[in-house]
Amino acid sequence: MITFLTPELVCDSCENGLNHRYIFAENGRVHISYHKRVGGVWQVFYRMKDISWYQEERVTNTSADAKYPSILVFRDSVFLVWHDYRVGGISNIEIFFNAKRIFDTSWNLETRLTYTNSGGPGDNGYLPTIKENGGKLFIIWYDYRDDPTSNRAQIYLKVRDSVWGSDVRISNSPANAWYPTFDFRGDTLFVFWADNRNSAYNIYGNWGYGDQRITDVSSGYPDVANSSGKLLLVYTNSSSSPPRISAKIYDGSWGSQFDVRPSGRSQSDPTVVRDGRGGWIVAWSEDFGGDRDIFGVRLNSLGIITDSFRIFMPGNQNRPSLFVDENGYIHLTFVDYTNPVFPKIYYTRSSEPLKLREFSRDKKTNVEPITLKGRNLYIKGYSISGRKLAGNP
């Protein structure tokens, strides 16, 4: 059993979690982003822990809501993206970005990233997620700009090299595509989302060859992580009651669906990260008789459980976010909805680091982790500026 330290309160009357990525850890520091109410308006905040917690930093100061920030730390800088209501309220939600050096005290690089202004109800971008690969920044979100009056969203991408590129539409759904997640395999960008073009929601993906249906069961809230060249895709499987967390592994082709840890109890809010040792860490919220706790497992490269953990707390804990640092410690944050009017965010860390290497099936050959650092990035079918290349599907 993987043990964790006593959870620490990060913030009160705050939340996050629908975009999976609101924690980052590096060089002994922990970075967490969230939104909390200030005078009745949701604002974006950031907090860092070194030896102890620093004071929280307010990132936005607007008269309208700013919510669900996703966080990245790269080259001693902190990057945040979120969706923001300041332009036109619920009729025109836009994606915003800000950044600073880790120990700077001000956030002075705020940038509006999307400009659609179509004015439809619920228009524009929701739940952006930010990641880095090959020295470039990637942001994925779902967006109603193409059909705002019918509440049909599509998945969009924006890439920054030296400057931000154009918005790129990734999905081509005749219905609704939302809650995207993404990662890289080699030099190829893989994007997944929930899509109801077949009435029920299924998981779809695109890695340069058009929309591909991944699941046949009713499923949603996907997350994905690459470990040593294999992708693990996790999602909530609602095809039977109670819902459970299911997964598939991609290693050039898709393996069969499997349940991550069958329990007979309701499971939701899955998230996954690579463990840096050839496998993955998966966490979710699970109902233990009216009390929801964060449960998680470590999977090897075959998707087999090698260890597990549970964060015991009274009440209801949801929306976990994970990070495994360079030393092998698991960092976990989650939202406590015991009082849904005043939710809280907690943070904890594994007591011990993970083993440095995962043994292969014959337990003789060490499997070395694969790194993407230093590689040139190529998104199949798209230029790095975000424009679709001629002759590509």
Dist CA 98 CA 381 (whole Å): 29
Q: Indicate if the pLDDT at residue 368 is higher than 60.
A: no
Query: Which two tokens mark 264?
Result: 């007979």
- Write the CB contacts of 219 (distance below 8 Å, at least 6 apart in sequence): 194, 201, 202, 203, 235, 236, 237, 238, 239, 246
Dist CA 342 CA 162 (whole Å): 41
pLDDT tens, 269-328?
999 999 999 999 999 999 998 899 999 999 999 999 999 999 999 999 999 999 999 999
Look at residue 190 and give its three-state secondary structure.
strand
What is the pLDDT confidence band of residue 19, given thresholds at 50, 70 and 90? confident
Domain residue ranges of the chain, discontinuous segments joined by +: 8-367
Please say whether the beta carbons of 153 and 178 come within 8 A: yes
Residue-wise burial string across 182-192, b where 16 or more C-beta atoms lie within 10 A, e elsewhere: bbbbeeebbbb
Residue range 321-346: mean pLDDT, rounded: 97
Place of tokens 């919220």: 285
Please say whether the beta carbons of 275 and 232 come within 8 A: no
Q: What sign does the CA torsion over 168, 127, 232, 185 have? A: positive
pLDDT tens, 112-140?
999 876 555 556 889 999 999 999 999 99
pLDDT tens, 192-209?
999 999 999 999 999 999
pLDDT tens, 212-228?
999 999 999 999 999 99
Residue range 86-92: mean pLDDT, rounded: 85
Radius of gyration, alpha carbons of the chain: 20
pLDDT tens, 28-77?
999 999 999 999 999 999 999 999 999 999 999 999 999 999 999 999 99
**pLDDT value at position 118?**
59
Look at residue 213 and give its three-state secondary structure.
strand
Residue type, 221: Y
When the candidates are 2.70.150.10, 3.30.70.360, 2.120.10.30, 1.10.3720.10, the CATH number that belongs to 8-367 is 2.120.10.30
Q: Indicate if the pLDDT at residue 180 is higher than 70.
A: yes
Dist CA 60 CA 270 (whole Å): 28
Place of tokens 């309208």: 64
Dist CA 342 CA 281 (whole Å): 29
